[in-house]
Structure 1
Amino acid sequence: MPTFTSKKYHPSALQNTLGARYRRSLSRHPFLLFGLPFIGTILAGSFFLTPATALRYERHDRKVQRISQEEAMGLGRNKRKVDLNEEYYRLAAKDLDDWEQKRIRRFKGEPDGIL
């Protein structure tokens, strides 16, 4: 079996191609030839995608209708109007003096708060 030489194979026809020249110069100037175009692509994409995103949200906003607070609460035309003062006094008029505190059963090993 023949042994392979440690000499790298560089055909002279492929040394002057655009890719070979780029690879050689990339090792000398990595940021200039790789980092700067990458960052530039990201920034350009950001500026080009901003109007497209704005258009998307504007179209969505046109579809969404503004509804009143009563419609949001589910009150129709046949329902009574809700007044906060009236509801407060109606709830305050209930007899709240005869309630009794009841303890619930706790899970096994859970503290029940009794000292």
Structure 2
Amino acid sequence: MTAFGNKAFQSKKEQAQYAKTFMGRYSNLVKKNSFLYMGLPMMLSLALISVLMTNFTSLRYERRDERVKEIDEDEALKLATQKKRKVNINDEYYKLQGLMEESKDFEEKRVKRLPGESENVW
């Protein structure tokens, strides 16, 4: 730490000129009551920004929901009158894996062992 601060020296004339400017008057007000002139405007601006951003983001998500929810009357009728099929979990699994069509004639067969090879029966 230095013995003297980093603040540049101002003569009385320069100090008087600075005190007449907007920044000089504002800095004097902040020194007198810092919360009223510095803290309160900051908190109010943050609150206002949060309200505006909430409205902005809600509008964005509402538009996205409208795009997803829009269906025709024909599609709605088709969904309402469509018969529900019975679901077999095994069939659905094989359909997803793409194994059902390939392995219709699949049959498990035991591999013949070579002479002297163990059966590996547990």
TM-score range, shorter chain: 0.3 to 0.5
TM-score (norm 2): 0.45
Give me the TM-score of the superposition, normalised by structure 1.
0.47
Flag the structure with higher helix content. Answer: 2
